[in-house]
Amino acid sequence: MKRIGLLGGMSWESSIEYERIINTEVRRRLGGTHSGDLVVRSYDFAEIERLQEAGSWDEAGRLLAADARNLEAAGAEIIVLCTNTMHRVAETIESAIAGRFIHLADATAEAVTAAGIGRVALLGTRYTMEEAFYRDRLSAAGLDVRVPDEPDRTMVHDVIFEELVQGLVREESRARYLAAIDRLIADGAEGVIAGCTEIELLVRPEHVAVPYFPTTALHALAAVEAALG
């Protein structure tokens, strides 16, 4: 089994799901008392949020790249960045390490394509929905990516930062998300990507009428496949 290095804490509400999914899947596949071989760097998310809001992406990239190297120094052969939004600096991290970096958007695109879906809705932070770093990666895999119109886009972003990363899961927010998803489906979306790891705390597959792609689970399972494959 290869050792997995997790860059987490962005936020810890979803990062603990990475650990749970990885450990559960390793035990399922290997049996007995097996669990994942992990090293974790978990951040104070307030520091990362400050860099996001300031647009200090270069500084954030240097920080995460340095810590990815530290994870490698601790024996990690695979690096997993446990957040969609911070994949904005994925290239900086990937160029700084010797081992394998598993890109979250690639794992997601593979699952969407395998499901036979071409047009997909993307929910996430404003950075993920509006900027090119994530959408272009999905588009390069042949997907037609749709994001919510305003004011839905602002609502999706605000619920993430004002509620989900703080551990607040509210029924009224779930209803607002599902209404936004219904509008995207009416616009032709054949599936929905939960493009922020915290969204899976609010919206689950059984809530959605079309195929649902939870990026935390897809990314974590891709990490297990790399570690065991």
Q: How far is CA 160 from CA 64, 74, 157, 188, 207, in A?
A: 22, 32, 5, 25, 18
Q: Is the dihedral of CA 29, 33, 39, 41 positive or negative?
A: positive
Tell me how far apart the alpha carbons of residues 130 and 60 are, in angstroms, rounded to a whole number.
19
Predicted pLDDT at 197? 85
Predicted pLDDT at 54? 95
Which position among 108, 125, 196, 197 bears the catalytic label?
196
Predicted pLDDT at 14? 83
Numbered ranges of CATH 3.40.50.1860 in the chain: 4-103+217-228, 105-214
Residues 6+ apart with CB under 8 A from 23: 35, 36, 38
**pLDDT score of 75 more than 90:** yes
Predicted pLDDT at 101? 98
Question: What's the pLDDT band for 10 if we cut at 50, 70, 90?
Answer: confident
Residue-wise pLDDT for 16-50, tens only, equals 999 999 999 999 999 999 999 999 999 999 999 99
Q: Two tokens at 3?
A: 């050792």
Tell me how far apart the alpha carbons of residues 142 and 87 are, in angstroms, rounded to a whole number.
19
Tell me how far apart the alpha carbons of residues 87 and 84 are, in angstroms, rounded to a whole number.
6
197 is annotated as an active-site residue:
no
Residue-wise pLDDT for 102-151, tens only, equals 999 999 999 999 999 999 999 999 999 999 999 999 999 999 999 999 99
Shortest CA distance to 121 belongs to which of 203, 201, 211? Answer: 211
CATH topology of domain 4-103+217-228: Rossmann fold (3.40.50)
216 is annotated as an active-site residue:
no
Q: Two tokens at 135?
A: 């959408």
- Return the ∠ at Cα 92 (arms to 86 and 94), rounded to 5°: 95
Query: Angle between the 12-30 and 215-228 helix axes, to the nearest 10 degrees?
Result: 40
Tell me how far apart the alpha carbons of residues 82 and 104 are, in angstroms, rounded to a whole number.
8
CATH topology of domain 105-214: Rossmann fold (3.40.50)
**DSSP code string of 117-167:** --EEEEE--HHHHHSHHHHHHHHHTT-EEE-PPTTHHHHHHHHHHHTGGGT
